[in-house]
Homo-oligomer: A and B are copies of this chain.
Amino acid sequence: MQASGPLNHWLYAADVGEEIHRFASEIYPLCRSITGNGVRETLASISRQIDLEVNEVPTGTEAFDWTVPQEWSIRDAFIKNAGGKRIIDFHACNLHVVSYSAPVHGFYRLADLKPHIFTLPDQPDLIPYRTSYYQLGWGFCMAHSQLQALPDDMYEVLIDSGFHNGALTYGEHVHPGLTDKTMLLSTHICHPSMANDNCSGIALLTQIAKRMAGLRTRYTYRFLFCPGTIGAIVWLSRNEAILHQVTHGLVVSGVGDGGGPTYKRSRQGAAEIDRIMRHVLRHSSPQAEIIDFVPYGYDERQYCSPGFNLPIGLLQRSRFGSYPEYHTSADNLDLIRPSHLAESYRVVANVLDIVETNRRTRNLLPKCELQLGRRGLYGPIGGDPASADRVMALLWVLNLSDGEHSLLDIAERAGLSFRTVLEATELLMLHGLMEDLPDTTVC
């Protein structure tokens, strides 16, 4: 069943970047928060692409140290000037209202309103993105230049929001494999209209799941589309029984901008996913940066908490928090590009390719070299570099296939790409010179 790269045929899918960008654009306008209809509409969009199990977890459900909050809904919000004109309008831009703002209606002098207004003085034309999930309050976000221009006057303020017992919603897509060894692919769906963070991640994983459909895989793949923090925590609390099956994982977010790529290692630091990511990035994106785990970031915080310590890293392009458009209105559809999305897609696809095919094999004739020549396997060393790589790959695979080295180990030791080593292994298997080791799903 160890087919050579069952995923390979979709690795270099044409126009995949455009397709991802199209779907990111479709879900971009929705007003997401950690609960509510924005999330539901997003999941509905995804389920038009792939099979999706949508879960509703009631308000009040406990999950470890946390409790599923009430659902927040918002119908309207504005600031009107003395002339009755909406100078801030939620319907124009859903970033204007601090997410989870309590309802308010009243008239405020500018000085009294200001403590409720968030701006970015260093980026005066951008609107920041702010939330107030776990403490009650209300607020508006606007461009600093707009705030500066406001006359000292009286303003009418409305936030027509509400809280009610409802549910936390998340979606899960399972691609069943031949074994229950599982790779988790997780992305957050709770940010409103921000393209990179995280329409890009949602669209990329949707695309991966879609193109994987129907493929026979060794691993089971779980795609998790959940609100940040509370969503991952709820998922973990409901899936403790299967966590021992999770042998690899990636959190995917912010994968459409032009920076990075950046890979943040799992807490384990030298898990196989960490080694795979290093290998893939070294060969595909030499400019990539690899950073150590820190307990701050996206949902890898939860997966890598000490009670779980799952082998799950984070793939992004620019490091979160480090680019000027981060959590502002400038994180829009212009920031993400099909070419960047396609590169991110290829990184993930290459990772899955290695997850699927990495294993340990054994040279059946390990004493001395084999006489490759009489089997037509020995070409000239020198001459065209690809051919030299192929011969060196045969020699390396034969030399290191001692039951201790995985194909990834061999690729790293030889300085060759995983694919070159995989192809050499398959060729030697065809000639009956190698065998797979039983139970060598490397993990």
Contact = CB atoms under 8 A, between A and B. Distances in A.
Contacts of A232: 368
A66 B367 CA distance: 11
A307 interface: yes
B371 A66 contact: yes
Given A134-B373, A267-B399, A373-B134, A368 B305 contact: yes
Nearest to A296: B395
Nearest to A303: B368
A442 interface: no
Q: Which 5 A-B pairs have the closest CB atoms?
A: A307-B366, A307-B367, A295-B399, A306-B402, A295-B395
Given A399-B306, A400-B306, A296 B368 contact: no
Contacts of A370: 65
Given A399-B267, A399-B305, A371 B134 contact: yes
Contacts of A267: 399
Given A295-B395, A296-B381, A65 B233 contact: no
Contacts of A304: 399
Given A237-B368, A306-B400, 16 more contacts: A63-B368, A65-B371, A134-B371, A134-B374, A236-B367, A294-B396, A294-B414, A295-B396, A296-B392, A302-B369, A306-B399, A306-B401, A306-B402, A307-B365, A307-B368, A308-B368
Interface in A389-429: 392, 395-396, 398-402, 414
A301 B399 CA distance: 9
Nearest to A135: B373
Given A400-B306, A402-B306, A64 B367 contact: yes
Contacts of A373: 134-135
Nearest to A232: B368
A326 to B, nearest CB: 12
A361 to B, nearest CB: 11
8 contacts: A63-B368, A134-B373, A229-B369, A233-B368, A237-B367, A294-B414, A295-B396, A306-B402
A267 to B, nearest CB: 7
A394 to B, nearest CB: 9
B365 A65 contact: yes
A345 to B, nearest CB: 30
A363 interface: yes
A369 B301 contact: yes
B400 A366 contact: no
Contacts of A302: 368-369
Interface in A263-303: 267, 294-296, 301-302
